[in-house]
Structure 1
Amino acid sequence: MNKKALRALLRERRALIAPESHGFTRPTGQGRRAPGLSQHQVDQLLHRTLGTYHRLESGSYPNPPTELLRDVARLFGLNEQEWVLLCRYALLQDPPGPLYSSSGKAIPGVWQEAVDGIEHIAYVSDASWDLLAGNKAFEELFPDHCPPSNTMHWMLLDPHARHMLTDWSTAWAPLLLPQLRAALAARPDDDTLRQIEKEVLADPDAAPIYEAGGSVIHPDGDERPLLHARLGPGWATMCAAQPLTTPGSRLMILVFHPGARRAHPRRPALQAG
């Protein structure tokens, strides 16, 4: 626990909340004059035992439950970046999921311009794999130049995808389905993810692979066979990153090489020094 940083973050945000906005009356005579909610008022609003919040803010609450941190974060109106900081300061780890279910659904508009400037196949999807932006090279990957509205749904369930994603049952599905499971663990109330899972479980080919489990949570660095609509069969090496203001979203860059895999040996890892 980083007590000093935790105390500073919580005090600053608590001071911004007017007690009157939650039905409390500010004393007019002698007494407390500090801005914002009192620690006691925070306990009342969170329906916690008196002194619970004081322990958290003072750093004397070792390993506070995530539920308490989430309730405090929402009461204080923290954004997703501040939520990450709160968990890192209090627990020395990143949060188990987003603070708000609506997070991860939108990116700054400049990302379209950024994606357009990438030479390789590139696109951005949100936390539910709904497509947010894609470049011309991404559109050319598909026979009709029309990318799917949800990339995960397409990759797992569309018959055309199972043709384009060469060796789908061995090279793609066992690596994609664990990503779906991991996303649901972080966002159990996401309707889009739940619907994809429902359809996967009803699919005779996808369901057994999904039930088999797996530990893959991202495709960064993977190399997989792919049938390009214009360039023909080849191999795609994947680069994955995340727009930092949009937790759960992903920027995907596919470096495609037509032909046999052995024609383009894997590059060594980049490292400083």
Structure 2
Amino acid sequence: MYPSSALGEFLRSRRARLRPEDLGLNAGVKHRRVAGLRREELAPLAGVSVGYYTRLEQGQSPNVSDEVLDSLARVLRLNGDERDHLHRLARIVRVKEQARPEVLRPGIRLMVDSFTEAPAVAVGRRGDFLAWNPLGHALLAPHWPFDGDEKPNFILMDFLELDFSRALYPDWEQKARDDVAYLEGSLSRFPGDEGLTAMIDELLELSPEFRALWNEHPVSNCASISRDYDHPEVGIMTLTAELLRTPDDEGQGVTMFQAVEGPSAERLRRLTELVAAAAR
């Protein structure tokens, strides 16, 4: 289950990144014991009492209104993704329910197979590759068998297969942050997914890099991301990944990769040729 402390942890992480002077307040004591805004500085700006805000951080105010959440989002300067995440966390405090098991929808597999000139993969809420086309496999996991019964989890690969992932992603730190944001969003939408929470616990135990990022609570919808990929056979390509989520929001989606015309597109075409030649 998603911990009841999740809302408070997220609010504290966003308080910590603001300074009093950011909001026109007098910083007062020069050296503070805790970084960021104090509760007594934040609460009046959001239109709530310090006691109420304290209870909110402690998970003791299950009926917080949308108006209060929006006010907190404004004062904490949350972006759109973070504001939506805050609302989801507040709803989790009110309602906890078991998530249904994840099963790949046949239509999603057909969609992945329909892309013949672009890498495409189907991903699940936990970061599992549920399906891939030949180009998607060649780009993201060429060291795994294409037709194997088991497919890897891209987040586990990125944090636990560091030699591979750091070689593939020149900006590994940003990729790792995006991975954590993906999990943070999934967990807020599927708080009852025991497989998801078990995987996060495993990463917290095994990866100091994951542990540090998880404590920062990065948030992003991960819908459109441009990133460099250093493929061992064709070199560095800048590709944009578009994540198309299913309308029923079961946590599955299709990610398609595209390159702007130029050197990256040429290298992607070269990879397409290599994959086609290997299949003959």
- Aligned-partner SS, 1:254: strand
Q: Distance in 2 between matches of 1:224 and 1:114?
A: 23
Cα 1:98/1:220, change in 2 over 3 Å: farther
Matched, 1:228 2:231: yes
| 2:249 aligned with 1:252 | no
Aligned to 1:153: 156
Preserved CA contact (<8 Å) 1:140 1:230: no
Q: What CA distance in whole angstroms lies between the structure 2 residues aligned with 1:259 and 1:191?
A: 44
Quick one: distance in 1 between partners of 2:179 and 2:154? Answer: 11
Once superposed, what is the RMSD of the aligned Cα atoms? Answer: 3.5
From 108, 111, 114, the counterpart of 2:108 = 111
Q: Structure 1 residue 180: deviation in Å? A: 1.0
Equivalent residues in 2 for 1:1-273 (5 A)? 100-102=98-100, 105-118=102-115, 119-141=117-139, 142-144=141-143, 146=145, 148-159=151-162, 160-169=164-173, 171-202=174-205, 203-216=207-220, 218-245=221-248, 247-256=250-259
Of structures 1 and 2, the one with the larger relative CO (CA 8 A, separation 6+) is 2
2-structure distance, mates of 1:122, 1:192: 24
Partners of 1:167 and 1:259 in 2: CA distance: 21
1:244–1:198 Cα change, 3 Å: same
Query: Does the aligned pair in 1 maintain the 2:170–2:230 contact within 8 Å?
Result: yes
Paired residues in the alignment total: 171
Determine what percentage of the aligned residue pairs are the same residue. 18
Deviation at 1:135, TM superposition (A): 0.6
Give the AA of the match of 1:228: H
Judge conservation of contact 1:221–1:239 (CA < 8 Å) in 2. yes
Following superposition, the deviation at residue 113 of structure 1 comes to: 2.4
Q: Which residue of 1 aligns with 2:54?
A: none
Q: Deviations over 1:97-150 (max 9, x none)?
A: 9965115x1243133222111121111122222222111111111333536422
8 A Cα contact 1:116 1:135, kept in partner: yes
Mark the runs of 5 or more structure 2 residues left unpaired by the alignment: 1-62, 64-90, 267-280
Whether the aligned pair in 1 keeps the contact of 2:124 and 2:253 (CA below 8 Å) is yes
2: CA distance, partners of 1:210 / 1:230? 33
**How much has 1:215 moved relative to structure 2?**
2.2
More helix by percentage: 2
**Partner SS, residue 196 of structure 2:** helix
TM-score by length of 2: 0.52
CA distance in 1 between counterparts of 2:108 and 2:182 reads 23
